[in-house]
Chain A
Amino acid sequence: MAFLLAPVAALGGGFDRAIDAVVPRVVKLYGLSVGSQPGYGTGVLASPDGLVLTVLSLLIDARRVRAVTSDGTFYEAEVVRRDPSRQLALLRLKPPDHGGEAAASRDPVGPLPYFDLKCGADATREESLRPGDWVIAAGNPFKVAEGAEPASIAHGVFSARTELDARRQVKEFPYRGDVLVIDAVTSNPGAPGSAVVDVEGRFVGMIGREVVSNLTHTHFNYAVPRDVLCEFFNEATDAMPRAASAAIASPSEGTVDPGIRLTRTGYRNIPPLVDRVRRGSPAEAADVRKDDLILSLNGKNVANAEEYDEQLRSVPRDRPLDLVVRRGRSIVAIHIEPEKQ
């Protein structure tokens, strides 16, 4: 009977418990905007003292990231950890710096309403969420809500838990693990980082970064499951990416991997800016540097990160790469010798 009760509860005011649980537990985030990427998003409160889960996006690279809780209080958010393989980030809220105040004298943050991720040893997949169950998401798509105005909700049906990797033709995206597919339009600017709960208000996942299909240009509506968030949340604090191979999103096997990581955000038309150079890689040996803007690869112009990937795919493994980059005001030609096997 419990199965049938879920849809019934939803008809006519039955979402109240879910809405009351989820809306106070998300924060509105504001940070860096670059080109077409919005400088705003959402985060999930994961501890009473202000730890916030969100997606790995450019907005958290801002010098000052602001977070606003549901009661309208402003905080600054500092980045605790980034996870490029899962495309997640962990932030910590700090009281805003009013200037002249010693950090120690500021009141501690909290207690704030939060989701206990229930990352205990026996918490594996979400048992009670089944295909057909309602889910409610709360976040700030289109930054409709400001200050103490409540986050927007969206409702939909949980369709399936599946691996992102299984979806062919999906835009290059490092995360290949499980996702929760939802039939609501959850992929909107500002929505990534939204909290998703079931009809009882139990936390089931977080809306992930925008993923767009190269083939159909449709957006994929999904959430990162709670247990995957748990893995990230529980990892020892480590500023470096988990594994070098996960950090560098190599398109597929059999092609060259010089060790260059471009800034990646999941949107179209990202300029091919070097974000990191892997230690000990051929690119490091050739003196490719962070913030180099790649202009061409082996003589072909490269306008954005997707084009760079595409060009790279067509280069056989043991061939050298000739890059032309803009570094500051100068143009630099770089020759990268392939890795000796």
Chain B
Amino acid sequence: MCKRPTFRLTLLTLALSLEGAAFGAVLAAAVALVRAGEPLDGTDPVLQAEGRRVEMIQRVGPSVVCLFDRNQRGGGSGVLIDAEGYGLTNYHVVAAIVEAKGGLAGLSDGKLYDIEVLGTDPTGDVAMFRLTDAGPFPYASLGDSDAVRVGDTAVVMGNPFTLSEDYTPSVTLGLVTGVHRYQKGVKGNLTYTDCIQVDASVNPGNSGGPLFNAAGEVIGITGRISVNTRGRYNVGVGYAISSNQIKRFIPAMRAGLLARHGTLQATVDADNEGRIVFNRVAADSNAEKAGIHRGDRLLTFDGVPITSGNHYASLLGTYPADWPVPIEIEQEGQRRTSIVRLDAVNPKLKTPFVPDRDVNIRAVERVLRAFAKATLGSADARRPMGWKWTVVREFTQGAAGTAKASECYEMSQTGDGPVRMQRRYEDGSPGPMITYDDHTATQRVDATSEAFDMAPDVGMVLSSLYVMQRWMLEPVETIDLTKVSHVGADRSVGEGSRDGAILNVLGWPVGRNAAAKFGLDTQSGRLLQLRVRDVPSGADATVDFLDYRSVGGITWPHRIEVRGAGLEYRDVLSNVELTP
């Protein structure tokens, strides 16, 4: 593309941001950018910077779509985030499409494609859709919105005034003019918390479209502007929902679910000394159960030091229901951190949301395919029929008697058979052999003893490893998924939990009575966490799968940490063999 059109583009952008009589002065100013008598050559830094910007815009532009309802009316924008045609937009754009019972997306190839609405987040004004045609489609990647600073370049792309006839997006350029901003919603919905403020032109029709940084990564979805008596159009103050917030809701939306936001059911305010203190903690809330009381001082929320009640409310609005958040408080002079799972906010909806089972199954299959790819590596990898390893089990709390007692076992399982656990003492002599039968959920000590029920927490670990093995063994299409569903997102809470991996959570029945939630990393595809609940007894446990290493081409965890009611231990695996 030759230089001339890009110069016009810059001029046009300048002109569009103006009003009334000053247009002439700006035209003069723009022309003045090219100083008379001093031609700019290709090495000029201004032209080079412009060239980079143009290149970025042309590279990411095709991922931006124009959204319409089925009758080609209304109009908003969206952005595709993977090659299969999954995309992000605003909830308020999709609400109109759902009412019309179907929608269309116009892509930069000039064609209209059918879209399917997936899950939605009405409270946070985000939703996902999917192009139902086969891909591959151009897509954009999501950036880190926490790295955005005031003064950074902001590029907004979408379909303002639905003026695009060929579905190529309109581009406006500006700066990030504020971060961590709060904009109140409507009846609890469409609240923009911790959002990004820009002065790039945002107008009706831009809703649901991407906000790009200079590198061409999506750092937000624009959906809101401040307006005054002039009318509902750009006056230099636009807002985008941050990409880091959206990432927490994508798994649930991909799975066709209603993605609820989280609440602590507790409010804070500044006391006379300016310290942030809880002034209300609802009874029966998870916060209360975690031991947080009225009067406790709030120090950090998810690792972020809280400076005001507004700051707390704004940050809180970016998390989903059930999200584990470390909360650091000062209580009676002592500092401590509790990890609290947020309670749910139920959005007020005109019509109740009905999750689509087919969309959910598709999401489950997608997760399992990613898991198989992450663990098997390649289609040629040997699929394990069985496994065998030595495990040193170190108890940090509970049943083995003394703390830090350790036991050593040789464990193995072949095909559908029972799990065998051969105890080895320090001198190498064998102890009892315990067998677990996954199907009957019972265990025996030596061949002679009676079968008795597996302790839920311990047995479930093995059952889950068995399930993992089956996922690798069987092609996704052959796995029976009737009792399985994608239940949303979670985060693995490690040391730096703000950086904890975002997980796809699959609800999978395990053993006889247990309900398990398998948490798989959205980035790597690996199984990172398991939460198990034994339904009759109510006992539950959390299992973390760590230290993944390659074993004959298969990626397998070498450390498994279990935390249950009164029981905590760590399994360190060695001599891992995955038998074909």
**Interface residues in chain A, defined as those with a beta carbon under 8 Å from any beta carbon in chain B:** 3-4, 7-8, 11-13, 15-16, 19, 23, 36, 72, 131-132, 141-142, 144-150, 152-160, 167, 181, 183-186, 188-189, 213, 216-221
CA–CA, A309 to B107, complex, Å?
Answer: 55
A218-B20 contact, Cβ under 8 Å, with A8-B46, A13-B152, A142-B237 = yes
Q: Is the CB of A148 within 8 A of B307?
A: yes
Most buried by B among A145, A149, A167: A149
Question: Cβ of B32 and Cβ of A167 under 8 Å apart?
Answer: no
| Pair B178/A153 contact, Cβ less than 8 Å | yes
A to B CB contacts below 8 Å, 27 in the list:
A4-B44, A131-B29, A132-B29, A132-B32, A141-B226, A142-B228, A144-B197, A146-B310, A148-B308, A149-B181, A152-B197, A153-B175, A155-B199, A156-B17, A157-B14, A157-B29, A167-B21, A183-B18, A184-B17, A184-B199, A185-B199, A186-B236, A188-B235, A189-B228, A216-B21, A219-B230, A220-B20
Which residues from chain A contact B2 at a C-beta distance below 8 Å? none
Complex Cα distance, B67 from A79, in Å, reads: 53
Q: Is the CB of B46 within 8 A of A159?
A: no
Check: B25 CB closer than 8 A to any chain A CB. Answer: yes
| A167 neighbours in B (Cβ, 8 Å) | 21
Residues of B within 8 A of A (CB): 14, 17-22, 25-26, 28-30, 32-33, 35, 44-46, 49-50, 53, 150-153, 174-175, 177-178, 180-181, 183, 197, 199, 214, 226, 228-230, 234-237, 307-308, 310
Please determine whether A147 and B45 come into contact, CB atoms closer than 8 angstroms. Answer: no
Q: Is the CB of B175 within 8 A of A157?
A: no
Could you say which residues of chain A place their CB within 8 Å of the CB of B26? 157, 159, 183
Residues A152 and B235 in contact, CB atoms below 8 Å apart: no
C-alpha gap A185/B180 in the complex (Å):
22
Q: Are A36 and B229 touching (Cβ within 8 A)?
A: yes
Beyond A12-B49, A150-B150, whether A185 also contacts B29 by CB under 8 A is no
| B35/A3 in contact, CB under 8 A | yes
Q: Within the complex, which residue of B19, B22, B177 is in contact with A153, where a contact is CB–CB below 8 Å?
A: B177
Q: Name the one of A142, A159, A217 contacting B22, with C-beta atoms under 8 angstroms.
A: A159
* Contact for B236 among A3, A150, A185, A217, CB less than 8 A: A185
B25-A181 in contact (CB<8A): yes
CB distance from B45 to the nearest CB of A (A): 5
- With beta carbons under 8 angstroms apart, the residue of B46, B181, B183, B199 that contacts A7 is B46
Whether the pair B49, A11 counts as a contact (CB closer than 8 A) is: yes
A194 CB to nearest chain B CB (Å): 12
Given contacts A150-B178, A184-B199, 9 further A-B contacts (CB under 8 A): A4-B45, A8-B45, A142-B228, A144-B181, A147-B310, A157-B30, A183-B25, A183-B26, A218-B21
For the complex, give the distance between the alpha carbons of A186 and B228 in Å: 13
Q: Are B18 and A216 in contact (CB under 8 A)?
A: no
B29: chain A residues within 8 A (beta carbon): 131-132, 157-160, 183
- For the complex, what is the distance from the CA of A11 to the CA of B20, rounded to whole Å? 27
Chain B proximity of A230: nearest CB distance (Å):
24
Nearest 6 pairs between A and B by C-beta? A218-B20, A185-B236, A159-B25, A11-B49, A142-B226, A132-B32
**Please, how many angstroms separate the alpha-carbon atoms of A131 and B32 in the complex?**
7
In the complex, how many angstroms separate the beta carbon of B356 from the nearest chain A beta carbon? Answer: 38
In the complex, number of A-B residue pairs with CB atoms less than 8 Å apart: 135
Residue of B nearest to A38 (CB): B228
A11 to B22, CA, bound (A): 24
Nearest-Cβ distance from residue B7 to partner chain A, whole angstroms: 13
Interface class of chain A by DSSP: loop
A201→B92 CA distance, assembly (Å): 40
Out of B14, B28, B49, B234, which one reaches A131, CB within 8 Å?
A: B28
Given the interface contacts A152-B237, A153-B150, A157-B29, does A185 sit within 8 Å of B175 by beta carbon? Answer: no
User: How far is A111 from B153 in the complex, measured between Cα atoms in Å?
Assistant: 33
* A158: chain B residues within 8 A (beta carbon): 29
Q: Given contacts A146-B310, A147-B310, is CB(A155)–CB(B235) below 8 Å?
A: no
Which B residue sits closest to A15, measured CB to CB? B151
Give complex CA distance A62, B50 in Å: 49
Complex Cα distance, B32 from A158, in Å, reads 11
* Chain B residue at minimal CB-CB distance from A7: B46
List chain A residues, Cβ under 8 A from B234. Answer: 185
Q: Which residue of A lies closest to B153 (CB)?
A: A12
Tell me, in angstroms, the Cα distance from A241 to B113 when the chains sit together. Answer: 67
Name the distance in Å between B304's Cβ and chain A's nearest Cβ.
Answer: 14
B237:A144 contact, CB within 8 angstroms: yes
CB distance from B235 to the nearest CB of A (A): 5
Q: A152-B197, A152-B237 are in contact. Are A15 and B175 (CB under 8 A)?
A: yes
Contacting pair B150 A160 (CB below 8 A): no
Q: Are A144 and B226 closer than 8 Å at their CB atoms?
A: yes
Residues in B with CB closer than 8 Å to A153 are 150-151, 175, 177-178, 199
**Considering the chains assembled together, what is the distance between the CA atoms of A156 and B14 in angstroms?**
9
Which of B19, B174, B183 meets A221, CB within 8 Å? B19
- Nearest CB of B to A174, in Å: 20
A13 touches B197 (CB 8 A): no
- Per the bound structure, the CA–CA distance linking A147 and B183 in Å amounts to 15
Residue pair B174, A155 in contact (C-beta under 8 Å) = yes
Given known contacts A8-B49, A185-B19, A185-B236, A152 and B28 CB-to-CB distance under 8 angstroms? no
Chain A residues lying within 8 Å of B307, measured Cβ to Cβ, are: 72, 148
B21: A residues at CB distance < 8 A: 167, 213, 216, 218, 220
The one of A149, A152, A218 that contacts B177, using a Cβ cutoff of 8 Å: A152
The CA of A235 and the CA of B230, in the complex, are separated in Å by 37
A204 to chain B, nearest CB (A): 15
The chain A residue with its CB closest to the CB of B183 is A144
Question: Which of B152, B177, B230, B234 has the most chain A CB atoms closer than 10 A to its own CB?
Answer: B177
Tell me the complex Cα distance, A104–B228, Å. 43
**A190 CB to nearest chain B CB (Å):** 10
Bound-state Cα–Cα, A141 to B236, Å: 10
| Residues of B contacting A142 in the complex (Cβ-Cβ under 8 angstroms) | 226, 228, 237
Do A154 and B49 contact each other (CB < 8 Å), given the known contacts A15-B151, A144-B197? no
In the complex, which residues of chain B have a beta carbon less than 8 angstroms from the beta carbon of A147? 308, 310
| Contact A185 B235, beta carbon cutoff 8 Å | yes
Partner of A183, one of B14, B45, B150, B151: B14
Give the complex CA separation of A4 and B46 in angstroms.
8
Residue numbers in B under 8 Å from A132 (CB-CB): 29-30, 32-33
The residues of B that contact A217 with a CB separation of less than 8 Å are: 230
Task: Find the residue from A147, A159, A181 having the highest chain B CB count within 10 A.
Answer: A159
B236 and A188: CB pair below 8 A? yes
Are A218 and B19 in touch, CB under 8 angstroms?
Answer: yes
Q: Give the distance to chain B from A42, nearest Cβ to Cβ, in Å.
A: 14
Partner of B17, one of A144, A150, A183: A183
The distance in angstroms between the C-alpha atoms of A156 and B45, with both chains bound, is 20
* B33 nearest CB neighbor, chain A only: A132
- The residue on A at minimum CB distance from B314 is A149
- B228: A residues at CB distance < 8 A: 142, 188-189
Complex Cα–Cα for A309 and B21 (A): 24
CA distance A1 to B120 in the complex (A): 52
Min C-beta distance of B139 to chain A, whole Å: 25
State the CA gap A13–B149 with chains docked (Å): 9
CA distance A185 to B26 in the complex (A): 13
A151→B22 CA distance, assembly (Å): 26
Q: What residues of chain B lie closer than 8 Å to A19, measured between beta carbons?
A: 150-151
Contacts of B19 in A (CB 8 A): 185, 218-219, 221
Closest-by-CB residue of A relative to B18 is A183
